[in-house]
Amino acid sequence: MLQLEGVSACYGAIRALSGVSIKVEAGQFVAIVGPNGAGKTTLFKTISGQVAPDAGSIFFDGHDLLKLPAKDRAHLGIAHVPEGRQVFSNLSVIENLQMGASTAKGRAEWSRNLERCYAMFPVLAERRGQLAGTLSGGEQQMLAIARGLASSPRLLLLDEPSMGLAPIIVDLIFERIQQLHRDNQLTILLVEQRVVEALEPCDWAYVLDVGRCVASGPPDQIMTDARIRQAYLGMQ
């Protein structure tokens, strides 16, 4: 479904990605883990079109993403839930969800998607008329995920969904993410610093460090490799 080959990208003079190659098959749950500054968020931004790579290729279902502007990538079925949630603070919960449903498929399946979002996160139904900026951090993260789902995505990019949240909320968020993958066969690409939570439900994992892919494999292989655990994951 998604294939990146030799992707490199810079922020000014800073090299953020160096020859990164990853592959995500339809229906897979793939995690990307690694320390701060590894290039994980930049990688997502190259996929969604916010950062233009200076080398490499990115294909989604045969479409050359580097030839498409960011707005057109969403119409292919790519939904990016960004780091830090980035909800529209001055819009209500329902208006945020409507913004997510801007794709043709999202508009066509609006009623079904709205029902699914409210079933996953009932608090959003309770707060449908409330301004997003007045929600708690956990509720904003739920809204950000639901906004992505409102577009009827085929690939969901989740960037650090646990950031700044209490452990009990993190558990709920990850439970819902696993439910999405399990019940809807939705393809998920997850970036996450909480290594155990990221690797436990995934089918395949990549480890990034200083902009390079330093390891990849099934999660149990990543978790049991002492060198990777100590050098890149901060685990003993």
Which CATH code fits 1-77+154-236? 3.40.50.300
pTM, entire model: 0.92
Closest CA to 30 of 208, 232, 236, 227: 208
Closest CA to 24 of 51, 38, 8, 43: 43
Q: What's the pLDDT at 157? A: 97
Q: CA–CA separation, 161 vs 41, rounded Å? A: 12
Q: What's the pLDDT at 207? A: 92
Amino acid of residue 156? L
3-state secondary structure of 116: helix
Mean per-residue pLDDT, 96-117:
95
Q: CA–CA separation, 171 vs 208, rounded Å? A: 24
Share of the chain above pLDDT 70, in %: 97
Alpha-carbon Rg of the chain, whole angstroms? Answer: 17
How do the domains of the chain map onto residue ranges? 1-77+154-236, 86-153
pLDDT interval class at 63 (50, 70, 90): very high
> In terms of DSSP H, where are the helices of the chain?
40-48, 70-76, 93-100, 104-108, 110-120, 122-126, 137-149, 167-184, 195-199, 219-224, 226-231
What is the tens place of the pLDDT at every residue in 179-217?
999 988 899 999 988 888 888 889 999 999 889 999 999
What is the tens place of the pLDDT at every residue in 127-150?
999 999 999 999 999 999 999 999
Q: What's the pLDDT at 232? A: 61
